[in-house]
Structure 1
Amino acid sequence: MPHHTDDHIGARIADYRKLRQLTQTGLAQRAFVARGTIAKVEAGLTPATPAIVAAVARALEVEIAVLNGQPYVSEMRQDQLDRMIAPLSDALDLYDLGPDAEIVPRPLSVITADVETLCAGACATEYKGVGARLPGLLGELTTALSLASSEQERRTATQALSWAYWVTYEFTYRLGYHQLAMIALERMGWMAEQAQDPLLLAIRLSKRSAMLLRHGNNRMASRILERGHSLIGQYDDPGSVQAVAVAGTLHLAGAIAAAQAKDKGSVAGELELAHRAADRIGRDVPRVYWASFGLTNVAHFDVATSVELGDLGMAMKAARNLRFPADHPRMRVGRYHIEMARAHSLMGKAEAAEKSLQRAREVAPQQARYHPLMRETIAVLVRRQRRASGGLASLAGWVGM
């Protein structure tokens, strides 16, 4: 079911502001955002960044998902993703019920291979394929863990189940089901502790920090990342590629947290540490703890943090030197093009913004279709033009506007 043209984040902010009997100035003062920014966002003339949405949501005492218009139920029905949510919710509740008498688990080697495939699918934003297989795999792994007859089998099962919960987090979070995503992260932490794997726990904390950043809680996100770094020191070989890659990932997360807080000094410090980690490894290692870390990812974050800081000229300069390898995770590449569309939009370059949006759709279609910033940027471009181009109108229809 198509949305009305006024159904965008800014319009929803205006609706809730009026319900709270606040003027734009009053909301700006509560959210610590410039009144002019509130006015432009409400009018749909500038994209509402995650930091702005988080600040306004706190001031209006409303869930961020409500302002973002997530989850996108009608589009999920078209893609047959909506029917996967209830079985996945049920599967998350199996964690402490012991073995299921109706399930005969396959050999652990076969199950763990399936988990690897799902991890790769999540990084490729293949939500439909991932969501269809997750509930059954969670049930099978839960039973396999309960029936494990040796310490090695138990550790293998706990690690596999931890990664299955990570995939569950990625699936539910990207589709806007944030409560389920939080539950999945809790289950992941519980399993990672049983697996006695500090790096798994650190990866889980990086995702937890991302959820906090979505709510604008930079300080708590930074504290959680500090805890993640302390866990890396507990790994058997802190100087290994695995440990260095996870540490670099935490530094990149820290750079984004600092950028949202407009702390340029901390951004530079975190990026420098991430650069050192990438140089130490000397190559991209996308499958090492599924962190997709390496020289390319650090270069991407050079661009992303500049966009977040509002230094668009620096972002464009950094982007000119960025090239993604053919095997780079589509999740990362798609996100980059969405970020560039936002930057071009803020610079008033509608044609370049549309080109980046089209590229995001080509690279990672399911990610682009459900990404709130993708939709918001399309909406801004449509409202700025007297008559939307054919390509832009097609994009708007594709995301359900």
Structure 2
Amino acid sequence: MRLPADDHTGARIADYRKLRHLTQEALAQRAYLSRSCIAKVERGLAPATPAVVAAVARVLQVDVAVLNGQPYTSEMQQDHLDLMIAPLSDALDLYDLGPDPDITPRSLADIEPDVRALCEKACATEYSGVGQQLPGLLGELTTAISLLPEGEERRRTAAALSWCYWVAYEFAYRLGYHLLASIALERMGWTAEQAQDPLLLAVRLSRRSAMLLRRGDNRMSLRTLDRAHRLVGQHDAPGSVPALAVSGSLHLAAAIAAAQAKAPDAVAGHMELARQVAKEIGRDVPQVYWAAFGETNVRHFDVATRVELGQLGDAVRAAQALHFPAEHPRMRVGRYYIEMARAYTEMGRAEAAQRALSQARTVAPQQARYHPLVRETIGALVRRQRRAAEGLTSLAAWVGM
């Protein structure tokens, strides 16, 4: 297995730090991190976590994707995903061009099941299926909405198109095409306004807050989530299950933002609000506005926020009480195992970390293959060992290391 010394995020951080004429100490101070953290990350002995990369990217004035080395072109070529980026980019440009004379849209009743199936694939991180079907649906719905007068059918068509833009965001974002993901989010906002659905607008803002958090802008991320909560309050039935599910998901997103800001009191406050909403709903709702909210999500984020706060022992203990139902979105389950792999790595528990990585691969293979933290965690495990175990070597080869 070939693992060049400069083939990881920490080495790229070191390169940009030197280009900016900063010492490790200076970078650490400006990023509000410890020098030992910067030193370990640069040497590849500790995973470059999303919070660390975001903080460093802000200081170095470079995009997070550049430090992560995204997109992972070789792996995308192997999975034939690279062929899907240009058609998606072209489809996103159609939004204001009016009807396409070469497209005869089907009825909305025929299109909506395809949109739901596409959203299900996105939640299952089946990127290949998403990339193949998404451009065609975007073209069809863009033409359909251009031909419709104001009214209920136009609003339903706008909602369907908005969800396709949401899928476009998920597809582009997970593969490292963050500019394309930003464009998809803008299109989602445009159509969600036409759908006149405040919950859809709130979901869009939750994704916008995630992109702000990726850049390390915790303050703006939390402001965006506050705005999303106000939109939920504008819904005709703010106490309905859909509105509660979206609201609870927003509280969980705010808890993660607070955890990255190392604000444990704020984390506790948001988690308690999410817990109250889950109790009010009384059950898991895995596919309401694709928000996947309930007691299971609250337990998951209890673990995730503890990992982010560095409370690793508490996170592992909390994880023992977490069991995912069969219908839980694979995107969420896969993310949980990625988080646990990071925690075990930081605790020096290499075998447990490797098992968690293998579980992430089993549950949501394409998510794991293209997730920067998976690569960082594998790299840290390899560099800490004199001789990598066979299973770890296999994982490293699979993600392209």
Give the percent of matched residue pairs that are identical in Structure 1 and Structure 2.
71
Q: How does 1:191-340 map to 2 (within 5 A)?
A: 191-340=191-340
State the match for 2:341 in structure 1: 341
- Determine if the alignment matches structure 1 residue 383 to structure 2 residue 380: no
1: CA distance between counterparts of 2:267 and 2:20?
A: 36
Secondary structure of the 2:125 match is coil
Letter in 2 for 1:359: Q
2: CA distance between counterparts of 1:31 and 1:330?
A: 33
State the match for 2:95 in structure 1: 95
2: CA distance between counterparts of 1:289 and 1:386?
A: 48
Q: How does 1:135-150 map to 2 (within 5 A)?
A: 135-149=135-149
- 1:334 touches 1:363 (CA, 8 Å); kept in 2? yes
2: CA distance between counterparts of 1:284 and 1:177?
A: 32
After TM superposition, where is structure 1 displaced by more than 2 Å over at least 4 residues in a row? 1-6
State the match for 1:8 in structure 2: 8
TM-superposed deviation, 1:161:
0.3
TM-superposed deviation, 1:110:
1.1
2: CA distance between counterparts of 1:256 and 1:20?
A: 30
Secondary structure of the 2:388 match is coil
- 1:3 touches 1:400 (CA, 8 Å); kept in 2? no
- 2:248 touches 2:277 (CA, 8 Å); kept in 1? yes
- 2:8 touches 2:379 (CA, 8 Å); kept in 1? yes
1: CA distance between counterparts of 2:15 and 2:233?
A: 48
With the length of structure 1 as denominator, give the TM-score of the two structures. Answer: 0.98
Letter in 1 for 2:88: L
State the match for 2:76 in structure 1: 76
State the match for 2:187 in structure 1: 187
TM-superposed deviation, 1:21:
2.0
1: CA distance between counterparts of 2:224 and 2:58?
A: 21
State the match for 1:158 in structure 2: 158
TM-superposed deviation, 1:23:
1.5
Q: How does 1:165-180 map to 2 (within 5 A)?
A: 165-180=165-180
Letter in 1 for 2:20: R
2: CA distance between counterparts of 1:333 and 1:157?
A: 31
- 1:57 touches 1:63 (CA, 8 Å); kept in 2? yes
- 1:256 touches 1:267 (CA, 8 Å); kept in 2? yes
TM-superposed deviation, 1:59:
1.4
TM-superposed deviation, 1:5:
4.6
TM-superposed deviation, 1:149:
4.7
1: CA distance between counterparts of 2:115 and 2:377?
A: 34
- 2:5 touches 2:11 (CA, 8 Å); kept in 1? no
State the match for 2:112 in structure 1: 112
- 1:244 touches 1:277 (CA, 8 Å); kept in 2? yes
Alignment CA distance shift 1:228-1:372 (3 Å) = same
Q: How does 1:116-127 map to 2 (within 5 A)?
A: 116-127=116-127
Secondary structure of the 2:308 match is helix
2: CA distance between counterparts of 1:21 and 1:273?
A: 44
2: CA distance between counterparts of 1:365 and 1:346?
A: 23
TM-superposed deviation, 1:367:
0.1
Letter in 1 for 2:227: R
TM-superposed deviation, 1:58:
1.5
With the length of structure 2 as denominator, give the TM-score of the two structures. Answer: 0.98
2: CA distance between counterparts of 1:395 and 1:24?
A: 31
1:117-166 CA distances to partner (integer Å, 9 max, x unpaired)? 00000000000000111001000000111112561210110000000000
Letter in 2 for 1:205: L
1: CA distance between counterparts of 2:2 and 2:85?
A: 22
Secondary structure of the 1:209 match is helix
TM-superposed deviation, 1:3:
6.1
TM-superposed deviation, 1:30:
2.2
- Determine if the alignment matches structure 1 residue 362 to structure 2 residue 372: no
- 1:260 touches 1:309 (CA, 8 Å); kept in 2? yes
TM-superposed deviation, 1:298:
0.9
Secondary structure of the 2:289 match is coil
Letter in 2 for 1:373: L
Secondary structure of the 2:328 match is coil
2: CA distance between counterparts of 1:59 and 1:316?
A: 32
TM-superposed deviation, 1:67:
0.4
Alignment CA distance shift 1:27-1:191 (3 Å) = same
Letter in 2 for 1:84: M
2: CA distance between counterparts of 1:16 and 1:258?
A: 27
2: CA distance between counterparts of 1:386 and 1:362?
A: 27
State the match for 2:374 in structure 1: 374
Count of residues in Structure 1 that have an aligned counterpart in Structure 2: 401
- 1:134 touches 1:164 (CA, 8 Å); kept in 2? yes
Secondary structure of the 1:165 match is helix
1: CA distance between counterparts of 2:67 and 2:32?
A: 18
RMSD of aligned Cα (Å): 1.1
1: CA distance between counterparts of 2:185 and 2:227?
A: 16
1:278-331 CA distances to partner (integer Å, 9 max, x unpaired)? 111111111100001111111100000000000011101110000001111000
1:8-46 CA distances to partner (integer Å, 9 max, x unpaired)? 011111111122222211211222211111101011111
2: CA distance between counterparts of 1:368 and 1:110?
A: 33
- 1:144 touches 1:157 (CA, 8 Å); kept in 2? yes
